[in-house]
Every structure is written in structure tokens, then in C-alpha cells.
Structure 1
Amino acid sequence: MCGITGFWNPARTNERELRFTLDQMLDVLDHRGPDERGSKFFLDQGLALGHTRLSIIGLDHGHQPIETRDGDYAVTVNGELYGYKRERTRLACQSLPSDGKSDSAITLPLYLRHGLSFVERLRGEFAIVLYDHREKRLILIRDRFGIKPLYYAVKDDGIVWGSEVKSILKHPSVVPRLCPKAAIHQMMQVMVPGTTAFEGVQAVQPGHMLIVQRVGDRLVTESKRWWDLEFPTSHESGADPQEYVQGVQDRLIDAVATRLEADVPVGCYLSGGIDSCSILGLATTLQQSPVKAFTIAFDSDEYDESNIAKLMADRTGAEQELLRLTEKELYGPAFERATWHAERTFYNTLAVAKWHMSRRVRACNYKAVITGEGSDELFGGYPFFKRDWLGREKGEGGIFAGAILAEEDQLHPAWQDLCGFTPSWIQPWMLTLRAARALLSDELIDLLETYDPIAEVAAAIDPDQVRGRHRLDISQYTWSKTMLEGQILTWGGDRMDMANSMEARPAFLDHHLAEYAVTIPPDIRIRDGIEKWVLREAMVNVLPRELYERKKFAFMAPPAHTDPVKRNAVQEMINHWLTPTRMNELGILNHERVEQFVSQAWRETDGTIARRNDILMNHALQLHMLQGQYVEGMPLPTVD
């Protein structure tokens, strides 16, 4: 697990200049790889590859960039490639030995053997940048779900890339500037796939590769999809549920066993949900020694599930590390630091909690944990999936309302045309956009006259992958192509984990399990109204009875409106960041409108509206933090 960055500027071939630029870009990725730093230059091309290493596999022999002996091919890899020993042995039998014992060392010989299709042989979570000097071709590759990040900026004089946007912004050709359209999307929470908060900086999309070819003095880019989460156009009727229960069980055991392999200890994140408890239960059986489990506890019974997590820890004999968080940890300096790492806004301070947790993991001398992300996406675990298929339930909402469920049905023509309905997962964010509109500056209100952010998100979805599919499949697919990558795996995953040099391994997103999960009929994924039924049955002997019978719980941090102390902590940040001068300079929000909104928000008694108000305040604060941190160059605060 590492950080990768670099650039290709054909007209710039001065070695001193190239080294100076790359060093600056690597400096801001030190948190991703504090164990070692490496670089490779093709001076005649103006091309530089950089790498910061977090050593987890091949501790003493994993230096990067990796290159062939003739120097014509070089690669940098961020992530984990599972099954590499078997692949390395297979390559050796084909007279294509890999130079090195690390998992990353298989990439170049696989490329030399299979060309661009080599990526289809990789299992794991990864971002790869490979340069073929003979073909004058650069390839940027991202894993199937986008677990590992990879960004790029195409400029007139070349291309710049990095594991995080902050490294790209250190290149002299890239001017840090927040994008007004992206700001609107952040206020409503949903980004357009492939975009970032910054003008001119894009993300390589999950399951895609960006191919950069030199043609004369120009660089020509082409994006190519190599994998997708593809649901069938029809499902087997009257299928035997037990067949699928066994199929899920077998593949999940294999996915967890695969992710326990490392040259350092591997722990588990443990909430009170089915997903992480299943992971811990399987890991405990697979390992000879007790597993270390890391749990977050909040100071609100409505949002805390650490009591369920303790049941699971006790059942498995795991050594549980419990981290209790209050407003002191969730706001102030930690909130600002989490924003810098996220590089975009987040609606809930769960991101800050995850930052604290990864710091605790590292303090316990662990570099890797297995996590439960992806289970809800594969097995229909979120309440909006159930709503899209089965309709509204009586009394539905609770603490979900205003955050992940809309209290009123919303329709949008672009989504109606794409899906035949407007997915429930985007409906609360449509209401958030409506509320945010009243806070925007006049310039952005004018922009909304010609720019429809809801339609732009819909336009980024491949219509061939949703038309003719079951409603549940459509809902799961569209969420996975937007919010899984843009939210759960970024500010809720990689960015907060790697902020403290800690690797997360989401076992449910193993592609062998995922490709099987999409074939499971909807009435087995959700059965008799029970979400993730097939997973529950697969794990019935692993989970405590209390958890097996429990409905989906919202894993979120308590919003500010739930506690006067938290409200005061947010107000302190508002007083510092949302001043007339700062807001006028950024030009995204109108100060008078925001000031009036905040005043009214603290008096709101409707829980649904109060949750939405909290979301808007978080986004407003973070837009101005991003402006200060990345555009104005303000130093980061120290966190005790």
C-alpha cells in the first residue's frame, strides 16, 4: 500500500527541474508511504515516476518503481495484488520470472506476456501506472471498484497524476482552483463520477484505464473500460436459496482468507453491523491466533452500536480496541485535517472518526485491517434499495430521514428516462440541493439556470448497464457507480485510513464474490423484507443471534444538532471559517444567506430538517477549508 505520482512533460527534459518537481509531489504523499521513497526518470521524454512505500508484503524487497533489466519498462503500484505467489510461479514456468518477491513485481512480466489485458488477471485493490518506453505509452489503471484512488490532470504541456489530488497540485503546470460546478455537487453530496473538487483534475474511473500515447510532440489520451459490475438482464426464477447461501459463504471465506495474507499483523474493523462482524468471525476461524478488533464508540445511544460489537468480540475471543469519541475529537483541528485528507466535503463526521481510528490502529503497531465495505452494495443492505423494489414501509425513516432517505418522493426526468424511476438513494440529495440553492451566491444561482447537477450525475451512468434490469439491480448499480466510489471508498475509506499510513482491505469487494453476487435473484438478496438475507443465512452460525435478527443500523457519527456541546463546536468553526471576507473571496456562498440559515438551523425542532441542516453546514465549512488549505496554502493544525 503506497502513494504514486508523476508527470510526463515531453518538452521538459532538464534533470534538475524534473527531480525538484517530483520531490515536491512526493513530499505531500509521505503519509501514504513513510517506509521508503523511490523515483525513475526517462529524461529524454520528460517523464517521471514517483513512489512512497508502506511495506506490508515483501518488507525487505519491495522497492519501487519496478523496472525491467533493459530499462524499457517501469511501473509503480499502489495496493495489494492477491494470489501473487501462484502467479509468480506460473510466470517462472513460462520463462518470465518476476524480479522481486513483492506482490507488485508480477505486473511487468504479466504486461509483457498479455499486453493491456494483463490487468484482468489481477485480484485485489490497486492503482497502477506503467510506462512502456518502446511504445512511448503510459497506462494509468484503477481497480474494479475504485478502492485505490488515482487522479490526473491533462495540461497543454503534458499529463500529471497522483494517488491524491494534493500531489498533482504541487506540479507547476497545475493551478489550484476549486471548481464552481463541483462545489454545487459537494453541497448536495453527490459528485459526478470521474470529477474532483478542483478544476482540471479528474479521477481515473473504477475498472478503467487511461492510455496516454506519444504521437510526435503530442500526448493523446484514451479512456478504456476493462471491467464493470454487470447485472444480468434476467434472473433465475424459483431458484434454490440454499445454493446461493452456500455460494456466498464459500466465496466470502476465500476473500477473507486471501486478505489475511501479509508480512505484518492484520486486524479487523468491527462495528455492530453484519458485515464487519462476519469478517471478524471468519478471520478468527481462519487464523491460529486471536484477531485484533478496532471499534468506534460514540457518545449517543441513538448512533452508537459498540455494545453489539462487544458481543461479537467476546464471542470470537478477539482483543478489542475501543475508541470513544466526543465532540472534542470530531470537530476543530481533527475536522480540518480530515478535510485536507478527503480533498472534498463530507456530510457526516464519520470521516473524522475514521481518521481517529486509523491513527489508533497505527498506534497499536498495525498497518492493515480487513473491513466490511461493499456488502450493502452487493446484497441490498441499504434501506433505499428496499424502498426502490418494495416501496415505502410504514414508519420508515427514523435517523435515516434527511440523510439517506427522502421524506417526500422526488422525480427527475433524466433519471426517469435512464432507469424508469428516480432511485431513492439520490432523492434526499435532491432535497439537499434544493435547500443549498438558497445559500448560493448569485453567480452560482445563475449557473444553475443552465447546469443541472442531478442530470449530470445521470448522464455519467452507462444506460446499457441499467436498461432491462430489475429495479433492485438498477438501484444497486447506480449507487455503486456514484456513492460507493465517491463517498464510501474515499472519505469513508482509503483517504482516512492512509492518512495515518494504514491499509484497509474490503473483503466483500473481492471481484470473485462480486461477480457471483450480481447473479443472485433479488428475492434471495432481500427475502420477506429482510435486507441481506442471503448473507445473514450464510453467516448464521458466525453471528450472534442479536445481530442476525437485527435490522440495518445507520453507521454515522451523531450530527451536531443532537447535542448542545456539538452545536457550540460547529459554531466556533463557523465563526472562524465563514466570515464575510472568506465567503466573498471564494464566491460560492452568500454570507448573509448563510448567516440567516445558521441562525434558523439551531432553532430547528424537526429532526429530518435538522439533519439536512447539519449536512449543509458541514459542506459549507469544508468548501472554505479546502480553499484555505489548497488555494491559499494555510498550514494544517496540530491534533493532540
Structure 2
Amino acid sequence: MCGITGWISYDRDLRNEVPALDAMTETMACRGPDDRGTWVEGPAALGHRRLAIIDLAGGRQPMTADTPDGTVALVYSGEAYNFTELRCELTGLGHRFSTDSDTEVVLRAYLAWGERLAERLNGMFAFAVWDGRHDKLVMVRDRMGIKPFYYAPTSDGVLFGSEPKAILANQLMRARVGLDGLRELFAMVKTPGHAVWDGMCEVEPGTVVTVDRQGLHRRVYWQLETRPQPDDRDASIATVRSLLEDIVRRQLVADVPRCTLLSGGLDSSAMTALAARQLAEQGEKVRSFAVDFAGQTDHFVADDLRSTPDTPFVHDVARSSGTEHQDIVLDARALADLDVRAKVIRARDLPMGFGDMDASLYLLFQAIRGHSTVALSGESADEVFGGYVQFFDEEARRADTFPWLVSFRQHFGDDSEILRPRLTEALNLGAYVADSYRRAVSGIRRLEGESDFEYRMRRICYLHLTRFVRILLDRKDRMSMAVGLEVRVPYCDHRLVDYVYNSPWSVKSFDGREKSLLREATADLIPKSVYDRLKSPYPSTQDPGYAVALQEQARDLLTRPSHPVFDLVDRERVHQVAHRDTPQITQPSRRGLERTLDLALWLDLYKPEISLN
């Protein structure tokens, strides 16, 4: 796992721009604390920061291959879980390897198959190949968008990087956000290809972007497609179990210490149990980690989202699977710490407003990194198998909008509660979201004979797998890579995603519960307590001390009335919440403070030019 960056400029010799490349590369230091490398030749400059996972000594980058017609150079981030099979195939074609790394397999695969290697890879990846034989750059991103990848076209080429900060470090790029970027920031719809920053784009999941002297070209090599799925319940359960066994076995491969993220929910418990059984065959134990908040289990108060605390279920799984388990317990002071908030914003490059849920994830990963370099996560199982409350809420099912927005507004309100009325009017988020929704559902094919209800549920599944999951995958990647931890997501294996997506909802939820297929496929592995447990989202602190800290920070911000955040946020509304009795702070009010504080710190750190025209 690594950070990549680069600059292609057909009108200049980039050997004269090494300091600029170095500056771009160093922004990725957190993603790759183990090594750095750069490579420059004519119009191409590539930078790499490495987190060593496989072949610790031999996987240095940029990695090059000399051919009679020119040099081919690669910068690669991610993991190809089928690299062993590909290596055997390439060896049979006459390729010779000097390392044991998956990076060299990807490089040789490009030499053998060109950009069509993308279809052959199973994994999470974002990589760029400079093909000196044809003076072109080839950028490839994995099917689900697990690894981030950004680029910015220039007048004579392109800038690219794992994160926006790498591109923003180049003198050609202005740190500017316009109305459309703000709409994307506040709408929570994750438009494919949108990067918020003006002039910047994402390489979309499942896409190859090629840059040559004629310009920029895109090719989609994978997308979620509707096809008939004839398997009955029993066959579907068996197939899911078989796929999970293979996926987890592949994703446990590493030359560094591994662990699992364990929340006590079905997703992470099933994954941890599978990993524990497989490693036991090799005489090893799984290490597992969970986040908890000081006093939360003893003083837990059930609400509409979370009916039970995580920790008792976490400990049930740890005992059942025999893991070496550790709880990472955080207090309100750590969650509200301004330095932690700054690290979260630098990691994400944007003020996402997830508050204590981002802070706790960052602190969890930071603690884990002291013990392990690779962690397996249950992320995306809710999107794949249908686990969220909105899959079962009739209002969300019927709404002609993104279903998570219905649930989110019910529990957290929306940003119009804190934004200045003039900005709210200019953003017109209702129209933006409606237009985004129409585009999102326009490509969904309906099966012949599919009932109205099944088609409605197909649309909801599709939206979660092509929009919502990318919000959470980006969050997971940024928080983990900010501390040099590689987090793998077994439930994002495209074979599993494709299979379950095309299972009818009547099979996905055959007993009327969430994630029925996953529950039955792993029923023999998990404790009964977890089998029976209702879905509970990622935890959030209930400590009133956290809200008190937010209010104190907001009151401090209010002493600076000229701060640019008040060009975006209604100062009077912030004042009202900041001076309210703490027990009266609702979830929407608390989130409003978190969003305001994030925006203010982002403006301080990045000093973006905000255009409201």
C-alpha cells in the first residue's frame, strides 16, 4: 500500500522540475512511511511513497522495465490478490522476475497485455504506467473505488496523485472550490468522477484513463450490470460461503503483521471468524481490535440507530474465535482534540463533518498501527447484502432520491440548518440532488418480468454500491493511510459484489431481516448473540463531555467574527447552539457544530479560494 503521484508535460523537460515532483511526493509520506522514490524521463515524472507489505526488500518503486522501444515505468498503490496466479501465467509466456512483489507482476502484466491487464486483476489498486514506447500515461483504478486516484488535466498533460494534496502541491494547481464543489461537499451523493476541487477529477472506479499527445481518453473496463441470477436460497448461501472462504484466504497474504477490525456486528464478526479458522490451520491466531468509549458500555442509552453497545458482542466473538483481542478505549477529550481534528482534515483534504466518528476511526487506526500493518475490515457488507435501515424503511424505499438521505435527515438533520441563507439559496441542493439521482438510476437495467418491488430494491442496492459505499471507502482509506495502516475490504471483492447484487431481494432478505444471505452463510462461525443482533452503525460517543468541548471550541471561534467560515455558516445559529444548555444539544445540533468547526479549520489549513458565483 502506497502513495503515488506524477506529472506529465509534453511541452517541457521535467528533469528541470525535480523539486516540484519532490514536493508532490512528500505529501504522500503518511501513505508510505517506509521508502520513497522518484523517476523522471523527458515529459514524465513519477513519485512514490511506499508502505512495504509484500517482498519488503524487493518491491521498491517507481519500478521500470527497459524495452527496445523505450522504458515502461510504474507507480502502484494497492494489492493484487491474484498476483501468484498471474505470475505463473506470465512466467509461462516467457517473462522473468527479479522480485517476489505483486508490483512487478503488475508491471509485467502491462507489458504482456497493455491496459487490458485491468480486467485480469483481483484486488484494490490505483496505479499509473508511463509507456515510453508510445509517450503515453495509463491510469487504472480498481472496480469498487477502494483506492483513491485523482488527476488534473493541464494545458500540455496531466497531474495525478493518490490524494488531492499531491496535486495541490504543484504550482500549476489553484486551491479553489466553486459552487459545484460546495454542492458536492454538502450533498452527500458522491458523484462519480467529482473531486470538489476546481480543475480536479477522480479516476472513476473500474476505469482506465489514458493521456497522450492527442489528449485524454477514458475506458470503462468494469461496471455493475444486471443479469439473471437463477440460484435458489440454498445455492446462494453456499456460493456466498465459498466466495468468502476464497476472498479471506487471499486477503490474509502479507509479509507483515495482520489483524481484523471487530465491531461485534455480523459483518466484522463473520470475517474475523473466517480469518481465525484459516490462520488456525497454520498454527496462528488472529489479532482483533475494537473501538470503545470510556464508560459507554456501562451507561449506554439505546436510540433509534443503536439499540445495543458493541463491546459485549465484540468480546463474545473474541472468545468464540480465540482471537488475541484489544479494545481501544477513547475519552471525550481525545475525540474533541483540535490536533486530531486537524489530522483528520489533512487526511481527507476536505471538511466532511463526520466529527467524532472520523476522530475515533483515526485514533483507532493509530493505535492499531503500533501492532499491525494490515487490517481486514467488514466495510461494505451493508451495501452488498442490504444491511442499512433504509433498505427496510418504507419512506426511504418509496422516495425518489438517494435512500440514505431520508434516513440521515431523520437522525442528523441537514447542513441547511447551519449554512447562511444566501449560500443555501445559491447551492440549491434540492435540485442538485434530484439531478444526481436521475443520472444515477438512468443506467440500471430492469430484468424481464421483474416485479415493481424487486426493481425498486435493485435500484436501492445499485445506488448503495455505486455511490454510498464510495463515501465510506474513501473515509476508511484516508483515515488508515494517514497513519500508514493498510485496511483491506473482503466484502468489496467484485466477484461477491456482482453475485449478490444479482440475487433477488427475496433471496437477499429471505427471512425478512437484514443481510440474511451473509448471516446464514456464516451461521456456524459466529456466536448466537451476534446471529440474533440487529444492525448497529459505527459507534458514536454518548459522553456529554464531548458536546461540552464542541461548544467551548465554537465559542472560541465566535470571538473571531471576521473568520471566513462565517461567509458560509450562519454565525447566529452557531451562537445559539454554542450557548445552549448541553443536555439540550440534539444530534443535528451537535453535527452542526462539528461541521462548522471542520469548515473553519479546513479554511485555516488549506486557505482555499471559495467562489460563490
TM-score for both structures, normalised by structure 1: 0.86
Residue 225 (structure 2) aligns with: 230
Residue 570 (structure 1) aligns with: 550
Of 524, 544, 560 in structure 1, the residue corresponding to residue 527 of structure 2 is 544
CA contact (8 A) 2:177 2:608 kept: no
Mapped pair 1:620 → 2:596: yes
Counterpart mapping for 1:205-220 below 5 A: 205-215=204-214, 220=215
Counterpart secondary structure, 1:21? helix
Unpaired runs of 5+ residues, structure 1, are: 393-405, 412-420, 634-640
**1:95 Cα deviation from its structure 2 partner:** 1.1
Matched letter for residue 75 of structure 1 = L
- Give the whole-Å Cα distance in 2 for the aligned partners of 1:361 and 1:425: 30
Mapped pair 1:475 → 2:460: yes
Residue 278 (structure 2) aligns with: 286
**1:460 Cα deviation from its structure 2 partner:** 4.7
- Give the whole-Å Cα distance in 2 for the aligned partners of 1:458 and 1:224: 23
- Give the whole-Å Cα distance in 2 for the aligned partners of 1:459 and 1:210: 25
**1:483 Cα deviation from its structure 2 partner:** 1.8
CA contact (8 A) 1:380 1:525 kept: yes
Cα distance change on mapping 1:33 and 1:586 into 2, 3 Å: farther
Residues 560-598 of structure 1 show CA distances to partners (whole Å, capped at 9, x for unaligned) of xx4431111111322344555454467322323432355
**1:434 Cα deviation from its structure 2 partner:** 7.7
- Give the whole-Å Cα distance in 2 for the aligned partners of 1:354 and 1:483: 18
- Give the whole-Å Cα distance in 1 for the aligned partners of 2:28 and 2:9: 21
Counterpart mapping for 1:597-612 below 5 A: 598-599=578-579, 602=582, 604=584, 610-612=586-588
Counterpart secondary structure, 2:37? strand
Residue 426 (structure 1) aligns with: 405
Residue 89 (structure 2) aligns with: 90
Counterpart mapping for 1:581-596 below 5 A: 581=561, 583-584=563-564, 587-596=567-576
**1:192 Cα deviation from its structure 2 partner:** 2.6
**1:197 Cα deviation from its structure 2 partner:** 3.6
Matched letter for residue 515 of structure 1 = D
Matched letter for residue 523 of structure 2 = V
- Give the whole-Å Cα distance in 1 for the aligned partners of 2:596 and 2:184: 12
- Give the whole-Å Cα distance in 2 for the aligned partners of 1:617 and 1:482: 26
- Give the whole-Å Cα distance in 1 for the aligned partners of 2:398 and 2:241: 37
CA contact (8 A) 2:291 2:327 kept: yes
Matched letter for residue 353 of structure 1 = S
- Give the whole-Å Cα distance in 1 for the aligned partners of 2:534 and 2:429: 42
Mapped pair 1:519 → 2:524: no
Residues 28-73 of structure 1 show CA distances to partners (whole Å, capped at 9, x for unaligned) of 2111111111111122x2x211110010101110011111123521
**1:77 Cα deviation from its structure 2 partner:** 0.7
Residue 172 (structure 2) aligns with: 173
Aligned residues: 586
- Give the whole-Å Cα distance in 1 for the aligned partners of 2:529 and 2:408: 32
**1:107 Cα deviation from its structure 2 partner:** 1.7
Cα distance change on mapping 1:446 and 1:262 into 2, 3 Å: same
Mapped pair 1:370 → 2:376: yes
Counterpart secondary structure, 2:460? helix
CA contact (8 A) 1:98 1:108 kept: no
Residue 358 (structure 2) aligns with: 351
**1:163 Cα deviation from its structure 2 partner:** 0.7
Of 46, 51, 56 in structure 1, the residue corresponding to residue 53 of structure 2 is 56
Cα distance change on mapping 1:450 and 1:564 into 2, 3 Å: closer
CA contact (8 A) 2:33 2:49 kept: yes
Deviates more, 1:84-93 or 1:496-505: 84-93
- Give the whole-Å Cα distance in 1 for the aligned partners of 2:554 and 2:156: 40
Counterpart mapping for 1:11-26 below 5 A: 11-13=11-13, 15-16=15-16, 18-26=17-25
CA contact (8 A) 1:379 1:532 kept: yes
Residue 383 (structure 1) aligns with: 389
Residue 270 (structure 1) aligns with: 262
Residues 493-537 of structure 1 show CA distances to partners (whole Å, capped at 9, x for unaligned) of 111111110101111111222222123221121123211111111
Residues 408-430 of structure 1 show CA distances to partners (whole Å, capped at 9, x for unaligned) of x985xxxxxxxxx3342122456
Residue 318 (structure 1) aligns with: 323
Residues 409-458 of structure 1 show CA distances to partners (whole Å, capped at 9, x for unaligned) of 985xxxxxxxxx33421224567998533533355234235983212432
Residues 606-638 of structure 1 show CA distances to partners (whole Å, capped at 9, x for unaligned) of xxxx222222322222122211111279xxxxx
**1:470 Cα deviation from its structure 2 partner:** 2.0
Q: What's the C-alpha RMSD, in Å, of the aligned pairs?
A: 2.5
Cα distance change on mapping 1:199 and 1:537 into 2, 3 Å: same
- Give the whole-Å Cα distance in 2 for the aligned partners of 1:604 and 1:498: 37
Q: What is the percent sequence identity of the aligned residues?
A: 28
Residue 444 (structure 1) aligns with: 423
- Give the whole-Å Cα distance in 2 for the aligned partners of 1:553 and 1:534: 18
CA contact (8 A) 1:197 1:343 kept: no
Mapped pair 1:78 → 2:83: no
Mapped pair 1:295 → 2:290: yes
CA contact (8 A) 2:286 2:323 kept: yes
Of 219, 240, 243 in structure 2, the residue corresponding to residue 248 of structure 1 is 240
Matched letter for residue 6 of structure 2 = G
- Give the whole-Å Cα distance in 2 for the aligned partners of 1:576 and 1:185: 28
- Give the whole-Å Cα distance in 2 for the aligned partners of 1:273 and 1:451: 34
CA contact (8 A) 1:88 1:97 kept: no
Residues 115-149 of structure 1 show CA distances to partners (whole Å, capped at 9, x for unaligned) of 22110000110001111122222111111111111
CA contact (8 A) 1:193 1:457 kept: no
**1:201 Cα deviation from its structure 2 partner:** 2.1
TM-score for both structures, normalised by structure 2: 0.90
Matched letter for residue 338 of structure 1 = V
- Give the whole-Å Cα distance in 1 for the aligned partners of 2:574 and 2:6: 40
- Give the whole-Å Cα distance in 2 for the aligned partners of 1:540 and 1:618: 39
